[in-house]
């Protein structure tokens, strides 16, 4: 069977890193005889320029017909002053909604050779290996009304969730914990928010279905503090959309660079979308120095979650670990003893290691 993969390069370094991931997948095809069929579509700023919309219908259609989608990144200063329906991020929110990608999985693992690149002390981050499971289609970013009133002098945003939306993400987190160290931390603000009170009730109800998983509840403010003072205490963290957005970027400092963090966004039974945690990095776009590892590790997650190719996914992850441990590094990762390489060179090293 040929895996149908849609590439959405997007803007800035998105295109640079997505073709790095494609090279790595072609190395997997060669080694394991697993063919993939690639096609590319516009999203974000480039789609606004070419189609006058951040999410053309043909992009949505192609993604719905694919087995999996790889996305680079969207956005950049060129479109920053556009009206809200012509902003690149609209493309991203739109494709998540169109594919009903309700679960965002972000693994965060410190690489031994990169511990020094984190602003945190090595002894604090050593051994950290956690997974953040974030709800992606509900909460404040989608609730209505979201508007200004009183002549623009007052605002309202709405945090809305249904029980079903909470249950499916909490189930996904329990299942993820079962595959890891069986420890789930649910993050909420149940001392203040009604939505968090229902969230906490559902987590408590679900415990009976997953007797092997231990559960604790942490308020989001305390979780933000614990994540950088004692990250090794966490295995799987589950939380709603906005809290997850903030905590997952905070967790990125554990690895030393956004350039190392992959993510998977999953639908209930449909197509999965895989993208690096970083944005389009306009400050380095076009220079050929972007770190492709987050994108390449996202492709590995794709093999695991969308194609059930665990051995092949592991081969990519092992190759990345090998090259990082051989002290090769890109400009975003400080390493005084290592060898500085650009995007193409880093990709080739990983391809060769596979």
Ligand X SMILES: NC(=O)c1ccc[n+]([C@@H]2O[C@H](COP(=O)([O-])OP(=O)(O)OC[C@H]3O[C@@H](n4cnc5c(N)ncnc54)[C@H](O)[C@@H]3O)[C@@H](O)[C@H]2O)c1
Which stretches of the chain bind ligand X, using CB under 6 A?
13, 17, 73-76, 89, 92, 258-259, 275, 278-284, 290-291, 294, 332
Smallest separation, CB 149 to ligand X (Å): 26
Radius of gyration of the chain (CA): 20
Give one DSSP letter per residue of 91-119, joined into a string: HHHHHHHHTT--EEEEEEE--GGGGGGSS
CB of 81 to ligand X, least distance (A): 12
Nearest distance from C-beta of residue 327 to ligand X, angstroms:
18
Is 39 annotated as contributing to ligand binding?
A: no
Angle between helices 293-305 and 310-325 (to 10 degrees): 160
CB of 21 to ligand X, least distance (A): 12
What gap in Å lies between CA 168 and CA 175, rounded to an integer?
11
Whether the link from the prior residue into 64 is cis, omega within 30° of 0, is no
Distance, CA of 123 to CA of 126 (rounded, Å): 5
Choice between 239 and 330, CB closer to ligand X: 330
Q: Looking at the annotation, which residues are catalytic?
A: 141, 189, 221, 245, 249
Q: Which is nearer to ligand X, 71 or 130 (CB)?
A: 71
188 is in an annotated binding site: no
DSSP 283-302: TTTTTT----HHHHHHHHHH
* Phi, psi values for residue 274, rounded to 5°: -125, 130
Nearer to ligand X, 233 or 342 (CB): 342
Nearer to ligand X among residue 188 and residue 275 (C-beta): 275
CA distance 31 to 89: 37
CA 259 to chain centre: 11
| 8 Å CB contact between 328 and 341 | yes
Q: Does the annotation place 129 within a ligand binding site?
A: no
Find the shortest distance in angstroms from Cβ 262 to ligand X: 11
Annotated binding-site residue? 76: yes
Q: DSSP class of residue 180? A: T
Residue 13 is classified by DSSP as T
Residue 106 labelled as part of a binding site: yes
Instruction: Give the nearer residue to ligand X in terms of CB position, either 213 or 266.
Output: 266
Any binding-site annotation on 291?
yes
* CA 324/CA 345 separation, integer angstroms: 13
Q: Which residues are annotated as a binding site for NAD(+)?
A: 76-89, 279-291
Q: Which residues are annotated as a binding site for substrate?
A: 96, 106, 134, 221
């Amino acid at each position: 069977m040929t895996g149908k993969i849609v590439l959405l390069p997007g803007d800035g370094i998105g295109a640079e890193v997505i073709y790095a991931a494609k090279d790595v997948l072609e190395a997997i095809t060669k080694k394991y005889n697993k063919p993939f069929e690639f096609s590319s579509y516009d999203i974000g700023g480039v789609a606004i320029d070419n189609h006058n919309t951040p999410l053309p219908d043909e992009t949505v259609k192609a993604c719905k017909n694919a087995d999996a989608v790889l996305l680079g990144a969207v956005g950049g200063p060129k479109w920053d002053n556009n009206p809200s329906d012509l902003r690149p991020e609209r493309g991203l929110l739109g494709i998540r909604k169109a594919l009903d990608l309700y679960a965002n999985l972000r693994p965060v693992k410190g690489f031994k050779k990169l511990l020094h690149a984190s602003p945190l002390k090595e002894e604090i981050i050593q051994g950290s290996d956690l997974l953040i499971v974030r709800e992606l289609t509900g909460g404040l970013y989608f609730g209505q009304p979201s508007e200004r009133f009183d002549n623009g002098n007052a605002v309202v945003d709405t945090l809305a969730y249904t029980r079903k939306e909470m249950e499916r993400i909490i189930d996904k987190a329990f299942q993820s914990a079962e595959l890891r160290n069986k420890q789930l931390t649910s993050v909420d603000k149940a001392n203040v928010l009604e939505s968090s009170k229902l969230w906490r009730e559902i987590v408590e109800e679900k415990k009976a279905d997953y007797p092997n998983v231990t559960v604790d509840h942490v308020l989001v403010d305390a979780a933000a503090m614990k994540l950088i003072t004692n990250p090794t205490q966490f295995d799987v963290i589950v939380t709603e959309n906005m809290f997850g957005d903030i905590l997952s970027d905070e967790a990125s400092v554990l690895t030393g660079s956004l350039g190392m963090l992959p993510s998977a966004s999953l639908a209930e039974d449909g197509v999965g979308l895989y993208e690096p945690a970083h944005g389009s990095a306009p400050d380095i776009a076009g220079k050929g120095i972007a770190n492709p590892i987050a994108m390449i590790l996202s492709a590995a997650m794709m093999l695991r979650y969308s194609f059930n190719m665990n051995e092949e996914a592991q081969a990519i992850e092992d190759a990345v670990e090998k090259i990082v441990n051989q002290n090769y590094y890109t400009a975003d990762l400080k390493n005084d003893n290592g060898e500085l390489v650009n995007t193409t060179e880093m990709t080739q090293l990983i391809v060769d290691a596979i």
